[in-house]
Structure 1
């Protein structure tokens, strides 16, 4: 790493959020340096994209690369009830007849490399194997970072804005004690990968399948990927999955018995990866920005993976933050009010997806809801594909509340 003019922006972390925010700022002619502590490719969970990622990928110049990739094409999602009844495939194209309605099931190690290389191609100065030890402040204003470079030398890199995209181990969320756990969505997950598992054919081959446990205490994801691999994981309350259990492998096997549709699908398959687990799920930072600093992606918050919104929220937060930062750099204003101006609208959208997640766990019958309010079919679909950032969609939740109230006994 050689000394050079200080960048306008420093980004901590090279995942989808970091690659997005850095690329979009660099596209506007500003110097951006990105520091990633690992050497890509590296493993990461989160394989399923939803259609609304299309628009950010388009701005990033990633669409052609995605279309020419070997990632499995995803056209739909399908739900399986506790009794094993399969819903009809939920085709995105039916609601939005546009190429954005076809998305992908990705291998994150490959996708993240593609995103990071794309950032570099568009002018971002990317450093891997570089650890950021601290964010530097002058009073309340972030002014740069303290790093250890590839040679082991410690140095300071000054910048007008520091973006923390370092994931769930976010430096700034911990420094300022900003993390707010979501007690209602205190979940965990256990997962692994299989080769040779059953998959549907044709347009349905790449569908994400959400399968409820027989006792309704959780659900399995079933995500077909390239190379005849399927990602399979169970999500349930933290206490249910992790307290009083022997180990993760045993728990996974026990929950497979609680979801015979999954067991049947992998009956002739070979497990090709260790069982993994995560115990810290839904949380959010109490603020997304301060003077000279911003949190994006998982560094700001993470939402339960039920509707595969993780990468979309990472890309969207990166996009919104980038636009606010560019505007701030143009005006010479890197205050919290300027570079965090996107937070309120983003949180509103995130809350809409969270509400859909909570409704699923509470057993709300979406089929019954659509039969009663057929004019909401398109709006519910919009929410599920990640088109979350429109206030008119709140009418859906108003009518969910009215439907629930109508069923409640009179006090």
Structure 2
């Protein structure tokens, strides 16, 4: 059994994309880091589609060439299909950005996450798997370490800063009771995988397709992966999705497929290769991103919604912002909440742009096509959000235009 020291500068809980990235960034900066993972990698995880702007954090992590060598399907665009089966023109990322970063990847998370973990090891982070964090250690009003359990043995490990990257477990947020579900996004998910489903060729092979179900009561993602596999999932309101308690997940999934003729055509001759899996309660945010001696990143801080594939991007971006802040905090020996929250405004501002676009997507009366006919000047801004270029000024201007468009639409409806 691998020996652990009793003290590290930083302990990171969870070795998903956020945790492995944070550990790598900190190790690159010369920090003494312990990365703790409760499972044994590789392991299955949902969330395969990357946003293009993830490229810049992946480049800093020095994994771009590794991704190219693995041979994941390249993603050049995203396309939307309405509830009548009419497909939009694909939003090609290169139209906004000619750099190679405009083409991203559709990844199998088991393989991707394992690559990220091994990269942290290569940069000098200590990694321990099959180890569960069961409690926090406190120094007065600050978090000062963790208590772990492995092979039925408990051990206290102290640190100057604890980073929670535990994903939707949101270990610290739930423990400190700062976890807040989003009442506007009470969604559930059912997903599975097919081999031999319909897919395009060339530049469109890896297009993420978003397909509305009948009446816009829900939507499907359609993500082409390597080895002729496609990830397919349906998202809808929890009460609606699970209204019939006599149905098992597979029957619910197929019920929703029958409400989406465009998807049904794509998978009609395909072979299911996995059981239907269920996720619930996945839109939330902690009250704050950090406190005395601790920082929350990735899904441990917030998860918005899968519709624009922002999960991995925000995980790695938050890891980068947190790591730089932690490095400066350690350099000045200031691990207070005030110091560790210094990146919160930047992170939340970018996240809010994505969240507002998610809210708009779920507005059944809103049409992006009609909006862009009235406001064609916001076509590039919309693509900016779809690629993850949200950490800059001016992005939020599109939402004032959307509100104006909505108000005008409501006035016209009232006159009818």
With the length of structure 2 as denominator, give the TM-score of the two structures: 0.96
Partners of 2:69 and 2:198 lie apart in 1 by 25
Show structure 2 runs of 5+ residues with no match: none
Q: Secondary structure at the match of 1:55?
A: helix
Deviation at 1:6, TM superposition (A): 2.2
Deviation at 1:5, TM superposition (A): 6.6
Residue deviations 1:137-194, cap 9 Å, x none?
0111111111124x44321111110001111112211111111111111111101100
Q: Secondary structure at the match of 1:183?
A: coil
| Equivalent residue number for residue 80 of structure 1 | 81
| Equivalent residue number for residue 233 of structure 1 | 233
Residue correspondence of structure 1 range 180-329 to structure 2 within 5 A: 180-245=180-245, 246-329=247-330
| Equivalent residue number for residue 161 of structure 1 | 161
Gap change, CA 1:177 and 1:4, over 3 Å in 2 = closer
Residue correspondence of structure 1 range 3-402 to structure 2 within 5 A: 3-4=4-5, 6-149=7-150, 151-245=151-245, 246-363=247-364, 364-402=366-404
Partners of 1:208 and 1:58 lie apart in 2 by 23
Partners of 1:307 and 1:388 lie apart in 2 by 13
Deviation at 1:130, TM superposition (A): 1.1
Partners of 2:48 and 2:281 lie apart in 1 by 18
Further displaced range: 191-200 or 168-177: 168-177
Partners of 1:395 and 1:37 lie apart in 2 by 42
Partners of 2:126 and 2:256 lie apart in 1 by 45
Deviation at 1:3, TM superposition (A): 4.8
| Equivalent residue number for residue 406 of structure 1 | 408
Aligned 8 A contact 1:134 1:171 in 2: no
Q: Which runs of 4+ in 1 moved over 3 A?
A: none
Partners of 2:128 and 2:187 lie apart in 1 by 34
**RMSD of aligned C-alpha atoms?**
1.3
Q: Secondary structure at the match of 2:401?
A: helix
Q: Secondary structure at the match of 1:389?
A: coil
Residue deviations 1:19-45, cap 9 Å, x none?
111110110111100110110011111
Aligned 8 A contact 2:346 2:391 in 1: yes
Q: Secondary structure at the match of 2:221?
A: strand
Residue deviations 1:243-284, cap 9 Å, x none?
224121111111111001111111111100000011112111
Residue deviations 1:343-391, cap 9 Å, x none?
1221111111111111111032112222222221111110111111223
Q: Secondary structure at the match of 1:206?
A: coil
Partners of 2:305 and 2:3 lie apart in 1 by 41
Gap change, CA 1:5 and 1:30, over 3 Å in 2 = farther
Q: Secondary structure at the match of 2:395?
A: helix
Partners of 1:175 and 1:239 lie apart in 2 by 27
Partners of 1:358 and 1:193 lie apart in 2 by 27
Partners of 2:108 and 2:13 lie apart in 1 by 22
With the length of structure 1 as denominator, give the TM-score of the two structures: 0.97
Deviation at 1:62, TM superposition (A): 1.0
Partners of 1:119 and 1:179 lie apart in 2 by 28
Partners of 1:66 and 1:47 lie apart in 2 by 13
Aligned 8 A contact 1:17 1:297 in 2: yes
